[in-house]
């Protein structure tokens, strides 16, 4: 199956279970910025995050044999919640390995959709080890948060909708953590809007994509320090290759910039977003001359923001 078909199939597969989220524009903000910005509001998606797209596509792509014992993953929040939702829609169990320091609001989200939480120490090695144990115990099918072709195709449906909802875009700005949303956006851009430049955006305190892009080799994240909790994950070989073949550039922004952009977007659009969503706007604000006169699409990736706790992980 070619790329365009995989995303079109994903769009049809998940249509019943996901929202076609709105695109917002604020003329007063455009005037201040000197460009037009179209915000794709995945904070209003089912489960409050774009990850519902990829998780639902991956779960419903499974054969009956693959799905019979449920699904499993490791996640500190949003993917786990999305997978629990998708599994509930298919009527199968979901086992979510979560670090002990995961946000309580994200744990609650997993439980509300019927997911079974298995807590582990807060390291990637422990997450993977505990997940392997769960898969062995229950026979569940593993669905990686981003290193999975069906997940990436599902995430690509977000850009697909955005391109349909707007006239031609000069730039698409996408936050990057593990790279599933970025990879899906690149694949969709390649056939749906080939003249649109894709720019990956991430915090200076979790800049593995930027360093990898500059070095032209994958440099894993080691000690992320950022309020943008959804962007603390390292990319995989698969998503790194997609990034290298499809982005115009990778931009980074400061923590102060993220906080300012977070406040600006929420106050202007009157919506709740996670700090990770504010990273593209923070990158734009740090280099406004680069975007002057452009039509820009910006994906607001999620709205599961815990106001009681600013420093969390995804």
Domain 3-49+152-300 CATH (choose: 3.50.50.60, 3.30.930.10, 3.40.50.1100, 2.60.40.1180): 3.40.50.1100
Q: Where are the alpha helices (DSSP H) in the chain?
A: 3-14, 27-33, 51-61, 64-67, 78-90, 104-112, 124-138, 149-165, 180-192, 208-215, 237-246, 255-269, 279-286
Query: In a 3-state reduction of DSSP, which class is residue 202?
Result: strand
Two domains, one topology: 3-49+152-300 and 52-142: yes
Mean of pLDDT values over 35-58: 96
Q: CA–CA distance from 273 to each of 48, 203, 230, 256, 300 (Å)?
A: 9, 16, 12, 17, 7
Among 65-69, 123-127, 285-289, the least confident range: 123-127
User: What are residue 173's DSSP bridge partners?
Assistant: 199, 298
Q: Domain 52-142: which CATH class?
A: alpha beta
Strands 71-74 and 141-142: parallel
Cβ atoms of residues 230 and 155 within 8 Å: no
Query: Is residue 1 scored above 90 in pLDDT?
Result: no
Q: What are phi and psi of 24, to 5 degrees?
A: -110, 150
Among 38-42, 54-58, 102-106, 248-252, the least confident range: 102-106
Sign for the pseudo-dihedral over CA of 215, 218, 224, 225:
positive
- Delimit the domains of the chain by residue range: 3-49+152-300, 52-142
Q: What is the DSSP secondary structure assignment for residue 216, as one 8-state letter?
A: T
Residue 308 confidence (pLDDT): 62
- Name residue, tokens 């994958």: 218
Query: Is residue 311 scored above 80 in pLDDT?
Result: no
Residue 314 confidence (pLDDT): 40
Residue 312 confidence (pLDDT): 40
| Mean pLDDT score of the chain | 93
Cβ atoms of residues 175 and 277 within 8 Å: yes
Mean of pLDDT values over 64-92: 95
Residues ≥6 apart with Cβ < 8 Å to 15 = none
Residue 223 confidence (pLDDT): 83
Condensed to tens digits (0 to 9), the pLDDT of residues 217-259 reads 999 988 889 998 888 888 999 999 999 999 999 999 999 999 9
Mean of pLDDT values over 116-129: 90
Condensed to tens digits (0 to 9), the pLDDT of residues 156-192 reads 999 999 999 998 999 999 999 999 999 999 999 999 9
Query: Is residue 313 scored above 80 in pLDDT?
Result: no
């Amino acid at each position: 199956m070619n790329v365009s078909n995989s995303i079109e199939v994903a769009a049809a597969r998940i249509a019943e279970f996901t929202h076609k989220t709105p695109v917002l524009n604020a003329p007063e903000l455009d005037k201040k910025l000197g460009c037009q910005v179209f915000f794709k509001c995945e904070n209003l998606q089912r489960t409050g995050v774009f990850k519902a797209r990829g998780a639902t596509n991956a779960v419903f792509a499974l054969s009956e044999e693959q799905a019979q014992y449920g699904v499993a993953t490791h996640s500190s929040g949003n993917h786990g919640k999305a997978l629990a939702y998708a599994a509930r829609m298919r009527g199968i169990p979901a086992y979510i390995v979560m670090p002990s320091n995961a946000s309580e609001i994200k744990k609650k989200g997993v439980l509300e959709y019927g997911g079974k939480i298995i807590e582990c120490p807060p390291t990637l090695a422990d997450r993977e080890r505990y997940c392997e144990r769960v898969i062995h115990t229950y026979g569940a099918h593993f669905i990686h948060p981003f290193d999975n072709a069906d997940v990436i195709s599902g995430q690509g449906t977000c850009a697909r909708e955005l391109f349909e909802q707007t006239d031609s875009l000069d730039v698409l700005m996408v936050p990057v953590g593990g790279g599933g949303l970025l990879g899906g956006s690149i694949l969709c851009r390649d056939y749906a809007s080939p003249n649109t430049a894709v720019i990956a955006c991430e915090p200076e305190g979790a800049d593995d994509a930027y360093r990898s892009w500059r070095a032209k080799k994958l440099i894993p994240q080691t000690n992320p320090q950022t309020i943008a909790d959804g962007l603390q994950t390292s990319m995989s070989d698969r998503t790194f290759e997609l990034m290298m073949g499809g982005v115009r550039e990778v931009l980074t922004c400061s923590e102060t910039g993220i906080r300012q952009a977070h406040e600006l977007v929420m106050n202007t659009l009157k919506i709740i977003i996670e700090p990770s969503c504010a990273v593209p706007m923070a990158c734009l604000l740090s280099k406004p001359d680069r975007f002057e006169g452009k039509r820009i699409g910006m994906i607001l990736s999620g709205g599961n923001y815990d106001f009681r706790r600013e420093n969390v992980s995804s």
